[in-house]
Structure 1
Amino acid sequence: MKEESQKVTVAVITQQEKSRVVLPDSPSQMWVDGELHDYLHIPHDGSRVEIIDGEIVVSPAPRLMHNVICTEIASLIHGARSRDPSYRWSSVVGSGLNFIAVENGYIPDVTVLDAEVLQEALRLRQIHLITDQAEMVVEVTSPSTARQDRPSTGKQAGKGKWCGYARAEVPYYLLVDLDPAVSRIILYSIPDQASGAYLHEES
């Protein structure tokens, strides 16, 4: 039996107006159930609704270059699998990732996982993947999301997706940083749950 949870009021800002919405359940549970996006009346224009550090974060649809990079990464993995049936990896683009133990629900740009694990998730009709199923997540920065994707510093230390992935012990995190001042690709590994940080990086 599900306990009755407190109703939550959130502010929703659209281009047309600012309004308040009373949610019938916690934002994270509604995200897990696949109901939050529609309940907030966010247009289906590619906008993403995520729960990051317990807060609802709405991001605009990614830009063309962002999507091309994600498609290329996924294509490399699928191409390797089509050439070699013993290649065990598969990938999904823009699918939700449920953190279960904490109230987070991210939408990585690309999630890499064992092909058999993906088939089992499809067989079970999972709405989202869970962090234990992900071997690597990929985030491509956009102007609106870069702060969440990079390692956090200062007042934001310990927050954001980089820390969340490390706390969930996702083995690898590939960050494609498109900021012209940075413009690099970093592979983070050796996640440390206690510190919420990746202990190794290669760029």
Structure 2
Amino acid sequence: MEESPKVSIIAAACRYHELPDTPYNLWMRDELADALELPHDGTRVEIIGGEMIVSPGPDYGHNAVIRGIQQRFFAAELTDPSFPWRCITTQDVKLSDIHDGYIPDLCVLSVENDKQARTAQLKKLPPRSLELVVEVTSPNNAFVDREPRRRHPAFTKWIGYARVGVPYYLLVDRDPREARTTLFTQPDPTSGEYRESVSWAFGEAVKLPEPFCLEIPTDEWEPWQRS
């Protein structure tokens, strides 16, 4: 009989659990959080590069950034009924090709893909449904959202999104040392890299190019407070 996998959790403190199945399979069945005995208080668990990443619920400033981005998409839809994009928050995304499972802060889909997902009542979206994903960094796990750096060379969502071919990745980095927004484009699934990027400092309007053609003000966006 094969032994249950014993895995570590990356969080504020590291502990060990024996799981009845692989983390990815448990995540796909919505059983991973319970298997890890996580509280039902907004705590999220994602699988990034095969590692389980546990994150507490975000702060208000984080959520306000997402609200600001949503508002621009909603306003465009109300102004122009033919606007072809819809957005949704905290939607599970299954990266089956690499056995990862993410919960982006915001997903942007075409009207057609949005309708298909609603009709099928999908619980976990495939990456091919997405045109743009948005991640907003938090103090405890910002490195998992960013392009890998020398200090944290491990697998990150930046790699994962590129490997599955998500066309646009918008990263809002609230670190006081960064305080900028970067749009990554032209994913290369083979290398797991985005080939192009453009960025804006907080206070500068984010200008999403075609096919979105949206301008997002960032005047009210605030970096997180250093402890």
TM-score, length-normalised on structure 1? 0.89
Q: Give structure 1 stretches of 5+ with no counterpart.
A: none
Kept in 2: contact 1:9–1:22 (CA 8 A)? yes
Please report how far the alpha carbon of residue 9 of structure 1 lies from its aligned counterpart in structure 2 after TM superposition. Answer: 2.3
The structure with more helix, counted as a fraction of residues:
1
Kept in 2: contact 1:97–1:106 (CA 8 A)? yes
Q: Which of 1, 7, 32 is 1:10 aligned to?
A: 7
Give secondary structure in 2 for the equivalent of 1:135.
Answer: strand
TM-score, length-normalised on structure 2? 0.80
- Taking a change above 3 Å as real, the CA distance of residues 5 and 96 of structure 1, as seen in their structure-2 partners, is farther
Q: Give structure 2 stretches of 5+ with no counterpart.
A: 200-227
Please report how far the alpha carbon of residue 81 of structure 1 lies from its aligned counterpart in structure 2 after TM superposition. Answer: 1.4
Select between 150-159 and 29-38 the one with higher mean Cα deviation: 150-159
Give per-residue Cα distances to partners, 1:116-154, cap 9 Å, x unaligned.
Answer: 212211221211111111101101111112111111023
Q: Are residues 1:147 and 2:136 paired? A: no
- Taking a change above 3 Å as real, the CA distance of residues 12 and 147 of structure 1, as seen in their structure-2 partners, is closer
Residues in 2 aligned to 1:13 and 1:114: alpha-carbon distance in whole angstroms: 34
Letter in 2 for 1:192: D
Please report how far the alpha carbon of residue 79 of structure 1 lies from its aligned counterpart in structure 2 after TM superposition. Answer: 2.2
Q: Paired residue for 2:109? A: 113
Kept in 1: contact 2:10–2:54 (CA 8 A)? no
Q: Which of 183, 192, 195 is 2:188 aligned to?
A: 192
Residues in 2 aligned to 1:195 and 1:129: alpha-carbon distance in whole angstroms: 23
Q: Which of 99, 112, 128 is 1:132 aligned to?
A: 128
Select between 25-34 and 53-62 the one with higher mean Cα deviation: 25-34
Q: Which of 147, 154, 158 is 1:162 aligned to?
A: 158
Select between 156-165 and 53-62 the one with higher mean Cα deviation: 156-165
- Taking a change above 3 Å as real, the CA distance of residues 65 and 171 of structure 1, as seen in their structure-2 partners, is same
CA RMSD of aligned residues (A): 2.3
Residues in 1 aligned to 2:197 and 2:160: alpha-carbon distance in whole angstroms: 16
Letter in 2 for 1:143: P
Q: Which of 52, 56, 59 is 1:56 aligned to?
A: 52
Letter in 2 for 1:163: I
Give per-residue Cα distances to partners, 1:42-79, cap 9 Å, x unaligned.
Answer: 11111110000011110111111001111221222122
Letter in 1 for 2:196: H
Letter in 2 for 1:90: R
Select between 135-144 and 150-159 the one with higher mean Cα deviation: 150-159
